Structure 1
Amino acid sequence: MQFAVVNSSVSSNLLTIIARSINEKFMLVQVLVVIFLYVNCLMILTFLKKEVFRDDTRYILFAQTLFVDSAFMVLSDLLLMGTFYKYPIHLIPCIIICTVVTILTVCTPLTLVAMCLERYVAICMPLRHAEISTSRTRFRGLLIIWSISSIIPLFTLVAYLAVIPSGVLLSTAVCGAELMLEKDWQAHARAIFFLLLFLFMIIIIAFTYIKIMIAARGASSENKKLTNKGLRTVILHAVQLLLCLMQFLNPYIEMEFWNADVMVFINVKYFNFIVFIIAPRCLSPLIYGLRDDKTYNVAHVYLCEKIMSMDSASILGGGGGVNKHIIIKQDRP
Structure 2
Amino acid sequence: MLHTLASHRQFWESPRYILFSYMLINDTLLVLCSILLFVLFLAQFRLSIIVCMSLIFVATVTFLNTPFILATMSLERYVAIFYPLRRPAAWRADCIWAVILPTLLISFMIPTIELCLGKQYPGTSAFTTMVLCRSKDINNSPLLMLIKISLYGFFFVAVALTILFTYIRILLEARKMRQDQAVGKALHTVLLHGLQLLLCIMTFTQPATEQAHVVRVPWLREQIPFFNYFFFALLPRFLSPVIYGLRDETLRAHMKRAILCSSPEITPQQMVEVLLVEVSQRAAGRSS
TM-score norm. by structure 2 comes to: 0.84
Cα distance in 1 for partners of 2:252, 2:94 equals: 28
Partner amino acid, structure 1, of 2:258:
Y
Give 5+ residue unaligned stretches, structure 1: 1-42, 307-333
**1:251 to partner: Cα distance:** 3.3
Q: What are the within-5 Å matches in structure 2 for residues 46-61 of structure 1? A: 46-61=4-19
Paired position in structure 2 for 1:267: 223
Q: Is the 8 A contact 1:194 1:248 kept in 2?
A: no
Q: Displacement of 1:133 after TM fit?
A: 2.6
Q: Which residue of 2 aligns with 1:25?
A: none
- 2:280: which partner in 1? none
Q: Give the one of 149, 153, 156 matched to 2:107.
A: 149
Q: How far does residue 195 in structure 1 lie from its aligned partner after superposition?
A: 0.5
Partner of 2:233: 277
Residue equivalent to 2:205: 249
Name structure 2 gaps, 5 residues minimum: 263-288
Tell me the residue number matched to 2:30: 72
Superposition pairs of residues 1-333 of structure 1, within 5 angstroms: 43-129=1-87, 131-135=89-93, 137-160=95-118, 163-168=119-124, 169=126, 170-219=128-177, 221=179, 224-257=180-213, 263-305=219-261
**Structure 2 CA distance for aligned equivalents of residues 118 and 285 of structure 1:** 17
The alignment yields a C-alpha RMSD, in angstroms, of: 2.0
Separation in 1 of the partners of 2:114 and 2:43? Answer: 26
- Tell me the CA shift for residue 268 of structure 1: 1.9
* Structure of higher CA gyration radius: 1
> What secondary structure, in the 3-state scheme, does the structure 2 residue paired with 1:101 have?
helix
Identity of aligned residues (%): 30
Query: How far apart in 2 are the matches of 1:181 and 1:174?
Result: 12
Which TM-score applies when normalising by structure 1? 0.73
Answer with 169-178 or 296-305: which moved more: 169-178
In the TM superposition, what is the alpha-carbon distance from 1:260 to its structure 2 partner? 6.5
Could you tell me how far apart the structure 2 residues matched to 1:54 and 1:257 are? 50
* In structure 1, distance between residues paired with 2:223 and 2:131: 24
The 2-side partners of 1:138 and 1:246 are apart by 30
Moved more, 297-306 or 117-126: 297-306
The AA in structure 1 aligned to 2:209 is I
Task: Give the helix-richer structure, 1 or 2.
Answer: 1
For residues 63 and 138 of structure 1, the distance between their equivalents in structure 2, rounded to whole angstroms, comes to 12
State the shift of 1:201 in Å: 0.4
Say if 2:14 and 2:93, in contact at 8 Å, map to a contact too. Answer: no
| Preserved CA contact (<8 Å) 1:83 1:176 | yes
AA paired with 1:154? T
Indicate if the aligned counterparts of 1:65 and 1:111 stay in contact, CA closer than 8 A: yes
